[in-house]
Structure 1
Amino acid sequence: MGVKTWMLVYSNANAKEILKSKPLLNREFSIELAKKLFPSKRFTPIEDGNLLMTNPPRDKVYIGSFPGMSVVSSDNVAIDYPSKLPQSFIDTGLGNTLYLFAMHSVVDWFAYAIWKNGTLIRSLSVSGADGKVLENIGPKQPFEELYWSEGHPLFDDPKEENDSPYNFNPLDLGNAALNEYLGYQLEGYSDTLHIDPEKIPLVGLQKLPWWKIW
């Protein structure tokens, strides 16, 4: 299946530290949050997921509300240009920091963004399939510097790197972003991991077809 993720993380504190504390899932608030974020949809519960299952298809949502933070995984946020995230996902009052993470290994694509108190601080979207930087807004965050300077080779032939605006694998940067802000990654080795994503539960919800709403 490869590496795939698309999710939003709302946090009032250090999200990594919150997850590290093994926070309790508030199931009732999670369901109410889904209704708030997707007001035109109706849901029915399905089997719970976890942070390893943040790549649901169009008809499902995985969502989790915890003390100090919330996680929302939906294909609605798998967007090439994070700065174009609908304002309804930003103006929620859920936390002073909002993160967007999205990766798809089939096209070696990674995107992430950070908002502070509703203001976009950083947005990056890079596609390894064609070597393009789709979006690059705001200052590079400290964890990015290694990748932009020394890099992780994207091409077998180093000469080809001269034709690309970067020379790292976007998925490497994507896993580094997850590790930096949430304390885990989906693939690759790191000796700094703090979270077992499979142990962080998310409520599973099935979107009902319109003809089943009434």
Structure 2
Amino acid sequence: MGAKTWMLVYSKRDPKEFLHAGARLDRDATTALVKQLYPSEKLVPLDDGDLCFTCPPDKEIVAGCFPGLAIVAAKEFGIDYPSKLASRFVDAFSDGTLYLHAMHSVVDWFAFGVWRNGILQRSLSLSPDSGIMEDIGDRLPFEQAYWAGEHPAVDPDEDPANYPFPFHPLDLGEAALAAFFGYQLEGMIDPELIQPERIPLMRFERKKAGWKFW
């Protein structure tokens, strides 16, 4: 299936600390958060998912609230320009650090954004076909080696000019998962990282709320 994500993660401290600590999922807080973010939709609980699957179909939302940490995955976050994330999502998490992580293996696209106290600090979006769509702010430490060509996208015997970047976007996407949240989905996975299948998340079917007349 390939690696796919479209999610927001909010935290008041380093998200890795909370996820490594194994905090319990707060189901009441999760339900309340999703209702706050989607007040015009009827939300129907589904069977639980986990952190391995943060690329729900259009008619679903995946979310989890833990002490000091919130995760929400939905179609609204799979956007080419992270800086254009709807203000209602940024405003809802304006007293800490908000991360957007989105990637799609079919088109080799990766995007991420980081806001601190509601202010965008870094945004990047790129794919081989579209090039660099957005590049705002200073590059973060985990990016440096990739831009420096230390993780080339092509084999040593291939011409690097055949690929538009000095790295593969999905490799950078996996590095971002590890740097921000302490886990990865694919590739050479460090055994010291979090196992995402151990982090439960709630799933909701989303329906437009409306009046019925009989």
Q: Under TM normalisation by the shorter chain, which class is it? A: over 0.9
Structure 1: gaps of 5 or more residues: none
Q: How far apart are the structure 1 equivalents of 2:113 and 2:192?
A: 21
Residue 52 of structure 1 corresponds to: 52
The alignment's TM-score, normalised by the length of structure 1, stands at: 0.92
Structure 1 range deviating more: 181-190 or 132-141? 181-190
User: Structure 1 residue 94: deviation in Å?
Assistant: 6.4
Match of 1:27 in 2: 27
Q: Deviations over 1:51-106 (max 9, x none)?
A: 01100000000000000010000011000000000000000146410000001000
Structure 2 letter corresponding to 1:170: P
Partner residue, 1:37: 37
Confirm or deny that 1:198 pairs with 2:197.
yes
* Partner AA of 1:145 in structure 2: Q
Q: Indicate how the Cα distance of structure 1 residues 193 and 181 shifts in structure 2: closer, same or farther if over 3 A, else same.
A: farther
Cα deviation, residue 38, structure 1: 1.1
Query: What is the one-letter code of the residue matched to 1:27?
Result: R
Q: Does 1:158 align with 2:159?
A: yes
CA shift for structure 1 position 189: 1.1
Sequence identity of aligned pairs in percent?
47
Contact kept in structure 2, 1:82 and 1:123, CA below 8 Å? yes
Deviation by residue 1:23-57 (Cα, 9 ceiling, x = unmatched): 11110110111111111111110001110110000
Q: Which runs of 5+ in 2 are unaligned?
A: none
Instruction: Say which SS state the counterpart of residue 91 (structure 1) adopts.
Output: helix
Mapped to 1, the partners of 2:12 and 2:39 lie a distance apart of 24
Spell out, residue by residue over 1:119-147, the C-alpha distance to the aligned partner (whole angstroms, 9 max, x if none): 0000000103x160110000000010000
Q: Is the 8 A contact 1:123 1:135 kept in 2?
A: yes
- Name the CA distance, whole Å, in 1 between partners of 2:84 and 2:183: 26
Change in 2 beyond 3 A, CA 1:159/1:26:
closer
Supply the distance in 1 between the matched residues of 2:192 and 2:99 (Cα, whole angstroms): 19
Structure 1 moving runs of 4+ over 3 Å: none
1:64–1:71 contact (8 Å) kept in structure 2:
yes
Which TM-score applies when normalising by structure 2?
A: 0.92
